[in-house]
Structure 1
Amino acid sequence: MKLVEPPSCTSASTIVFIGRNRRGQWVAQEQNGLYGGLFVNRAQALKYALFENGRQPETIIELSREIELDMHDSHRPASRSATGSPTELGRAL
C-alpha cells in the first residue's frame, strides 16, 4: 500500500507561484510560504502545485522573473527577485 501525504493547503483559493530561481531550478511556492519545493523541471513543479492546491490550475501563476524558495517567513510574499524587490507576475496558467 502506497502512502500519500495529504495536500498542505487549507483553502481552495490558495495561489501557488512557479518559476525558476537564479540557479535555474524550478520553484513552486504557496503565496504565504506555507509550502513549496525545488524541482528539476516545470512539469514536476506544476504537478506538485496542482496536488497541493486541490487540482485548481487557475490558482497557479507562472512568474516571468526569478523566484527564490523562502520557507522562513509566511507573511512575506513568495515572489522575490534576486534584488529582493517584488517581481512582476507572469502569465497565468
Structure 2
Amino acid sequence: MDGAVAGTVDLLVVRPSLTHHGRPWAAVENVVVGRDFRRHGVGRALMEEAAQRAREAGCHRLQLLSRVQRTEAQAFYRAIGMEASAQGFRLNFDDRSDSSPQDAP
C-alpha cells in the first residue's frame, strides 16, 4: 500500500453568502476512503481537516449530502458530530450514470 491514496475529500467554500451577515459556508463532496484504509481513522482525519479549514475561512457551517442508501456513511457522519438537517434535491443535465464510492475499484 506504499504510495496508495488512502482517501479524498473536496471542500468548497461559498462566499459571499446572503445569509448569516455575509459569512461564507462550506460544502464537503466526494468523501471517499479506500476499502483497505477504512476503519483506521482516515475518514475522521479528512473530515477534521476539512472542518478546520472551513473554520479558518470563517464559515458559519459545513454541510454535505449523502444518498439515503448510504447508511454506513451516515452512521460515520453522526459519529463525528454531524446531524441530519435537510432533504436534498437535484437536477441532472446529462445521461451519464452517477457512480458511487462503493462502485469504485
- Which one has more relative contact order, counting CA pairs under 8 Å at least 6 apart? 1
Asked which structure has the greater CA Rg, the reply is: 2
Structure holding more helix per residue = 2
- TM-score, structure 2 normalization: 0.28
